[in-house]
Structure 1
Amino acid sequence: MAYPSQLGFQDAASPLMEELLHFHDHALMIIFLISTFVLYVIVAMVTTKLTNSYILDSQEIEIIWTILPAVILIMIALPSLRILYLMDEINDPHLTVKAIGHQWYWSYEYSDYHDLEFDSYMIPTQDLAPGQFRLLEADHRMVVPTESPVRVLVTAEDVLHSWAVPSLGVKMDAVPGRLNQAAFVAARPGVFYGQCSEICGANHSFMPIVVEAVPLTHFEAWSTSMLKDA
């Protein structure tokens, strides 16, 4: 969950988000080193240390600034390709949930259960209970078990939407007439908030996403109660 004056990412709640945070730190360090080196070269040239013709016309300099960027790109590309593979790989999910974007709310269908589906609307500000978050709370949460691979099938009924939960490292576009899929594993119990990340109309900012991760026994009790109420 984000907090006031936060500068970094939200705390990771899935192994995928942990990998994304590590890659972010890795790329940021490379950017910092490049920026430091470029600043040094600029300062050195201003102070006339690097302005003689031998350095400017040096064959060694030509080789270095050709090979060094290629090495830097490889250092960024290899870990990023690994993470892209991890994001696309979905092996035997324990639960499949279909998230459907509407103007302007989400609906969820649990494909592994018969008739387990519901709509999720934002709770109006005047109806919020103490401790709840404005513009982020929903009347029905998407409940998933912890430490279990969950596949989310994302689509839309009307216009483009985007199903995004930062703490879980998930962001997938919802396209009418098309099924996109994403996967995550909630590493710990908790309530994780997200919002539609595609400008979809006048009430775009009023369709939050709330994912509640609970132990498997609690999830089974929740699903049983939901099926009884259906």
Structure 2
Amino acid sequence: MAVWAQSYFLNPNSMVLFFLAEYHNLTMFLMTNILVFLLAMLILLLSGTVFSSCPWKEDNKTLEILWTIFPAYWLVMLAVPSLGNLYRMDLSKCEYEVLFKAIGNQWYWSYEYSMEGLGSSLNCLSNLEGNSVKGSELSMKIGEMYTFNSLEKNLFGASPLNVSAVLSSCLGKFFYCGGVSFVSYMEDPKELNLGDYRLLEVDNRVICPGLANVRVNITSADVIHSWTMPAMGVKVDAVPGRLNCATFKTLDYGVFYGQCSEMCGAKHSFMPICLEAIPFNWFRLWMKEFQVGA
């Protein structure tokens, strides 16, 4: 969490931010050395105390080689760790345990969770066994779908007709089972409790398991937003009609704050992000309780 008069990064809660902070330190070290060297040479040249007795040379191959090699060496020192960070941040193809979608709106965030990774699809279907499910009672989304080549009727118990009819009529063999969706508004500053952070608290936090790979798909419903979590080193633009993604893994449990980082209108400053990382077992219970409550 940021503190008053802080001039450095937040405490890293992901390896991505840790390596980005280290790269920042390296960059500042090289820039400071270059600045001091050039400033010293400029002062000596203008003062005339050192170079006054040096004869002017029109051709100095050694000097030309040196002032070509050293800048190239500095650029390589910056490029190698930078490429490493880029590959480390490109986690779109890595395995993830939890998937949710963040949708930017003027001026709040909405979230949709997928049940993918929380159990096998067959187990998800078996939860419907013995229940009479009607079309209006079965919440289905096309966003993240499970694929089945065939539906075995015994998964639905003795009365599979209602469920299978709903599934086949909606999506055929492609369907999504379960899920959680909610909106997240900023808390009114007048209703904050002691210790809450002004303009950062929300009514519904983003819940994710700590110490686990979490993938977030990010888009927008109106204008361009940006889903940013500084403690994780995540900043991804939410563009209408485009689905961007980011994957992060928290190093600890706790509550972390972020904000929209793209100017999106009059209330751009009032759509914070509040993420709570909890143990995976607690996350499963939260998903179940949220579904039951919905």
Q: TM-score range by the shorter chain?
A: over 0.9
Deviation at 1:217, TM superposition (A): 1.8
Take 1:209 and 1:98, find their aligned partners in 2: how far apart are those partners?
13
Q: Does the 8 Å CA contact 2:224/2:264 hold for their aligned counterparts?
A: yes
- Structure 1 residue matching 2:63: 3-state secondary structure: helix
- Tell me how large the CA RMSD over aligned residues is: 1.4
Deviation at 1:112, TM superposition (A): 2.1
User: 1:54-69 alignment to 2 at 5 Å?
Assistant: 54=56, 57-69=59-71
Aligned residue number for residue 209 of structure 1: 273
Deviation at 1:228, TM superposition (A): 1.0
In structure 2, relative to structure 1, the CA distance for the partners of 1:211 and 1:47 (3 Å cut) is same
In structure 2, relative to structure 1, the CA distance for the partners of 1:127 and 1:55 (3 Å cut) is farther
Identity, in percent, stands at 44
Query: Aligned match of 1:145 in 202, 209, 215?
Result: 209
Deviation at 1:56, TM superposition (A): 7.2
Query: Aligned match of 1:183 in 241, 247, 267?
Result: 247
Deviation at 1:186, TM superposition (A): 0.6
**How many residue pairs get matched?**
230
Take 1:112 and 1:21, find their aligned partners in 2: how far apart are those partners?
34
Q: For structure 1, which runs of at least 5 residues remain unmatched after alignment?
A: none
User: 1:30-69 alignment to 2 at 5 Å?
Assistant: 30-48=30-48, 49-50=50-51, 52-54=54-56, 57-69=59-71
Take 1:110 and 1:156, find their aligned partners in 2: how far apart are those partners?
16
**Code of the aligned partner of 1:103:** Q
1:228 matches 2:285: no
**Code of the aligned partner of 1:60:** T
Take 1:119 and 1:57, find their aligned partners in 2: how far apart are those partners?
69
- Structure 2 residue matching 1:79: 3-state secondary structure: helix
| Post-superposition CA distance 1:151-194 (Å, at most 9, x none) | 11000000000000100100000000000001100110111100
Aligned residue number for residue 15 of structure 1: 15
| Post-superposition CA distance 1:91-139 (Å, at most 9, x none) | 1111111000000000111122623010000001111111111111110
Aligned residue number for residue 159 of structure 1: 223
Q: Does the 8 Å CA contact 1:50/1:56 hold for their aligned counterparts?
A: no
**Code of the aligned partner of 1:171:** K
TM-score (norm 1): 0.96
Aligned residue number for residue 95 of structure 2: 92
Take 1:38 and 1:70, find their aligned partners in 2: how far apart are those partners?
16
Q: For structure 2, which runs of at least 5 residues remain unmatched after alignment?
A: 117-177
Range that drifts further, 127-136 or 111-120: 111-120
Q: Does the 8 Å CA contact 1:147/1:188 hold for their aligned counterparts?
A: yes
